Amino acid sequence: MNTNNMIVTLALIVLICGQPLGAASMELSTIQDSILTKVDSKLIELALDESAVKPIKQDTPVTQMAVPGIRAVPTIDIIVITTERYDLSEYMGIMATSETRLPGTYRTFGSLQIDSNLMHKLLKIASVEEVIAVNSLQPVDVPEPPDPDLADKTRYAGAVTNRSHPPRSPDPPKPDMWLAAMEHGAVNAWDNGFTGTGTKVAVLDSGVDFAHPDLQGTQARVEDPASPYNGWPIAFDPYSMLYYLAYKGASFPDIRSWYSNTSSTDGDLNADGVLDTCGYNITGLVSQSGVYHVGVHPDEAFHELCYSEYVAVLVVDESTAGVYDAVYVDLDNDKDFTDEKACVKGDEISWQDNLNSTTALPGSDGYADISGGMVYFIADGTNPIPYSDVFAYWWGLPLTIPDNGNLVAFMGSLDFSKDHGTLCASAVAAQGRSGESSWNAGDGFVQGMAPDTKIIAVGNIYNALISDIYYFAVGGYDGTPGTGDEAQIVSCSFGYSDIINAGWDFESRLIDTITTSYNPEATFTMSTGNGGFGYGTTASPLSPGVVSVGASTSYWTYEPVNDSAQYNCGDVIPFSNRGPDAIGQADPDVVTVGSGAAGDTPLNQGEDGYTAWRLWGGTSLSAPATAGELALVYDAYNQTNEVFPGSKLARNILMSGADNINYDVLQQGAGFTNADRATRIASGMGGLMVTPAFRMVGDYRGVEYEAFSGIISPGESDVMTLTVENHNRSGPVTATISDSVLERTGVWTTTIDADGTLEDEYQFTEPDYLIDITGAIPAGTSLLKATSYIDFSVFDMDGDYEYDEVYRLLVYKWTDLDGDGIYWDDVNGDGVVQASEVDRDSGYELNRFTYGYNCANINEVFLRDPDPELRCADRILLGLQHSAGNGSTVVNIQLEFYENTDWTWVTESHSTLSVPAGGSAAFDATISIPVDAGIGLYEGKILVSDGIYETVVPVIVNVAADTTTFEFGGNTLTTDLYDNNRIFGGFDWGWRYEVGDWRFYFVDIPDDADIGPGSKLLVDMTWENVPTDIDVHVLGPTPDLFTPDPRYGPYTLDSYGSSADTYMGSGKFRFDTATGGAKEIISADVSTGLHEILLHNVLYAGQSFSEVISGKVATASINPAEIHQTMPARTIGSQTFEFVSGMSLSGLSVQAYGLSQPQEY
Bridge partners, 257 (sequence order)? none
Q: What is the mean pLDDT of residues 2-29?
A: 44
Residue 498 to residues 135, 422, 585, 989, Cα–Cα distance (Å): 14, 26, 19, 15
Q: Each residue of 865-897: pLDDT tens digit?
A: 999 999 999 999 999 999 999 999 999 999 999
Beta carbons within 10 angstroms of residue 917's beta carbon? 12
Position 566 pLDDT exceeds 60:
yes
> Are 1002 and 1076 within one domain?
yes
Q: Which of 594, 595, 620, 689 is nearest to 651 (CA)?
A: 689
pLDDT score, position 1155: 66
pLDDT score, position 442: 61
pLDDT score, position 1129: 76
Task: Classify residue 517 by its DSSP letter.
Answer: I
Whether 540 contacts 548, CB under 8 Å: no
Whether 561 contacts 600, CB under 8 Å: no
Position 114 pLDDT exceeds 80:
yes
Q: Which residue has the higher pLDDT, 253 or 751?
A: 751
Q: What is the mean pLDDT of residues 160-175?
A: 37
Position 36 pLDDT exceeds 50:
yes
Position 1060 pLDDT exceeds 80:
yes
Q: What are phi and psi of 512, to 5 degrees?
A: -65, -45
Convert 736-757 into a string of H (helix), E (strand) and C (coil). EEEEEEEEEEEEEEEEEEEECC
Residue 56: which pLDDT band, with cuts at 50, 70 and 90? very low
Q: Each residue of 241-259: pLDDT tens digit?
A: 999 999 888 888 888 899 9
- Those residues whose C-beta lies under 8 Å from the C-beta of residue 804, and which sit 6 or more positions away, are 794, 795, 796, 797, 798, 884, 885, 887
> Is 274 within the bounds of a domain?
no
Residue 775 to residues 743, 866, 877, Cα–Cα distance (Å): 20, 11, 10
pLDDT score, position 16: 32
Residue 32: which pLDDT band, with cuts at 50, 70 and 90? low
Q: Which of 535, 589, 525, 582 is nearest to 953 (CA)?
A: 589
pLDDT score, position 747: 98
pLDDT score, position 558: 79
Determine the Cα angle at 527 with ends 678 and 474, to 5°.
Answer: 75
Give the helix ranges, DSSP H, for 263-419: 300-301, 388-395
Determine the Cα angle at 63 with ends 59 and 68, to 5°.
Answer: 90
> Is 223 within the bounds of a domain?
no
Percent of the chain with pLDDT over 90: 75
Task: Classify residue 648 by its DSSP letter.
Answer: H
Q: What are phi and psi of 378, to 5 degrees?
A: -120, 125
Residue 1046 to residues 228, 287, 1006, Cα–Cα distance (Å): 41, 61, 21
Task: Classify residue 245 by its DSSP letter.
Answer: H
Residue 73: which pLDDT band, with cuts at 50, 70 and 90? low
> Is 250 within the bounds of a domain?
no
Residue 66: which pLDDT band, with cuts at 50, 70 and 90? very low
Q: Which 3 state secondary structure label does DSSP give 326?
A: strand
Task: Classify residue 274 by its DSSP letter.
Answer: B
Beta carbons within 10 angstroms of residue 906's beta carbon? 21
pLDDT score, position 53: 46
Q: Which residue has the higher pLDDT, 1125 or 929?
A: 929
Convert 542-604 into a string of H (helix), E (strand) and C (coil). CCCCCEEEEEEEEECCCCCCCCHHHCEEEEECCCCCCCCCCCCCCCCCEEEEEEEEEEECCHH
Position 746 pLDDT exceeds 60:
yes
pLDDT score, position 961: 99
pLDDT score, position 69: 42
Domain holding 116, by residue range, is 31-136
Q: Which 3 state secondary structure label does DSSP give 633?
A: helix
Q: Each residue of 328-377: pLDDT tens digit?
A: 999 999 999 999 999 999 999 999 999 988 888 899 999 999 999 999 99
> Are 458 and 560 within one domain?
yes
Give the helix ranges, DSSP H, for 116-209: 118-126, 148-154, 177-183, 186-191
> Are 773 and 666 within one domain?
no
Q: From 900, 930, 955, give the residue that closes a domain.
A: 900
Position 399 pLDDT exceeds 50:
yes
> Are 83 and 195 within one domain?
no
- Those residues whose C-beta lies under 8 Å from the C-beta of residue 10, and which sit 6 or more positions away, are 1134, 1135, 1137, 1152
Classify residue 968 by burial, with Cβ atoms within 10 Å: 0-12, 13-18, 19+: buried
> Is 1093 within the bounds of a domain?
yes
Q: What are the percentages of helix, strand and coil residues in the chain, rounded to 5?
A: 15, 35, 50
Task: Classify residue 837 by its DSSP letter.
Answer: G
pLDDT score, position 117: 86
> Is 639 within the bounds of a domain?
yes
> Is 778 within the bounds of a domain?
yes
Can you tell me the distance from the alpha carbon of 19 to that of 1061, in angstroms, rounded to the nearest whole number?
A: 36
> Are 56 and 186 within one domain?
no
Determine the Cα angle at 481 with ends 477 and 485, to 5°.
Answer: 40
Q: Each residue of 262-277: pLDDT tens digit?
A: 999 999 999 999 999 9
Can you tell me the distance from the alpha carbon of 1033 to that of 498, in angstroms, rounded to the nearest whole number?
A: 13
Q: Which residue has the higher pLDDT, 890 or 145?
A: 890
Can you tell me the distance from the alpha carbon of 645 to that of 682, in angstroms, rounded to the nearest whole number?
A: 8
pLDDT score, position 22: 28
Q: What is the mean pLDDT of residues 17-26?
A: 30
Q: What are phi and psi of 248, to 5 degrees?
A: 50, 55
| E-strand stretches of 828-975 | 846-852, 858-864, 875-884, 888-901, 906-908, 912-915, 920-928, 936-945, 950-959, 966-969
pLDDT score, position 50: 61
Beta carbons within 10 angstroms of residue 231's beta carbon? 13
Q: What is the mean pLDDT of residues 632-637?
A: 99
Whether 957 contacts 929, CB under 8 Å: yes
Residue 435: which pLDDT band, with cuts at 50, 70 and 90? confident
> Is 648 within the bounds of a domain?
yes
Q: Which 3 state secondary structure label does DSSP give 36?
A: helix
> Are 688 and 788 within one domain?
no
> Is 23 within the bounds of a domain?
no
pLDDT score, position 417: 87
Beta carbons within 10 angstroms of residue 1144's beta carbon? 13
Q: For the chain, what's the residue count?
A: 1161
Please report how many Cα atoms fall inside a 13 Å half-sphere around the Cα of residue 1043, on the Cβ side: 19
pLDDT, mean over the chain? 90
Whether 1033 contacts 1058, CB under 8 Å: yes
pLDDT score, position 252: 86
pLDDT score, position 161: 36
Can you tell me the distance from the alpha carbon of 343 to that of 368, in angstroms, rounded to the nearest whole number?
A: 14
CATH number, position 103: 3.30.70
Task: Give the chain's domain count.
Answer: 4
Q: Each residue of 182-206: pLDDT tens digit?
A: 999 999 999 999 999 999 999 999 9
Q: Which residue has the higher pLDDT, 669 or 356?
A: 669
pLDDT score, position 54: 39
CATH number, position 1025: 2.60.120.380
Query: b/e for 77-98, b at 16 or more Cβ within 10 A?
Result: bbbbbbeeeeebeebbeebbbe
Query: b/e for 179-190, b at 16 or more Cβ within 10 A?
Result: bbbbbbbbbbbb
Q: What is the mean pLDDT of residues 1-18?
A: 50
Residue 148: which pLDDT band, with cuts at 50, 70 and 90? low
Q: Which 3 state secondary structure label does DSSP give 902?
A: coil
Q: Each residue of 464-512: pLDDT tens digit?
A: 888 999 999 999 999 999 999 999 999 999 999 999 999 999 999 999 9
Identity of residue 1111: G
pLDDT score, position 1128: 80
Residue 42: which pLDDT band, with cuts at 50, 70 and 90? confident
Q: From 877, 900, 923, give the residue that closes a domain.
A: 900
Q: What is the mean pLDDT of residues 813-817?
A: 94
pLDDT score, position 464: 85
Q: Which of 172, 877, 860, 183 is nearest to 567 (CA)?
A: 183
> Are 613 and 517 within one domain?
yes
> Are 745 and 623 within one domain?
no
Q: Which residue has the higher pLDDT, 436 or 473?
A: 473
Whether 453 contacts 217, CB under 8 Å: no
Q: What is the mean pLDDT of residues 285-306?
A: 95
Please report how many Cα atoms fall inside a 13 Å half-sphere around the Cα of residue 411, on the Cβ side: 35
Whether 590 contacts 626, CB under 8 Å: yes
Position 154 pLDDT exceeds 80:
no
Whether 729 contacts 684, CB under 8 Å: yes
Q: Which helix (H) or strand (E) holds 48?
A: helix 41-48
> Are 693 and 757 within one domain?
no
Q: State which of 23-32, 1005-1014, 1125-1134, 1142-1151 shows the largest mean pLDDT.
A: 1005-1014
pLDDT score, position 1160: 58
Q: What torsion do the CA atoms of 353, 358, 360, 365 make, to the nearest 10 degrees?
A: -10
Q: From 1085, 1103, 1119, give the residue that closes a domain.
A: 1119
pLDDT score, position 68: 38
Position 1157 pLDDT exceeds 90:
no
Whether 463 contacts 472, CB under 8 Å: no
> Are 1079 and 988 within one domain?
yes
Position 156 pLDDT exceeds 90:
no
Q: Each residue of 439-454: pLDDT tens digit?
A: 565 678 899 999 999 9
Q: What torsion do the CA atoms of 894, 554, 994, 489 make, to the nearest 10 degrees?
A: -150
> Are 994 and 878 within one domain?
no
> Are 673 and 755 within one domain?
no
Please report how many Cα atoms fall inside a 13 Å half-sphere around the Cα of residue 220, on the Cβ side: 32
pLDDT score, position 1150: 82
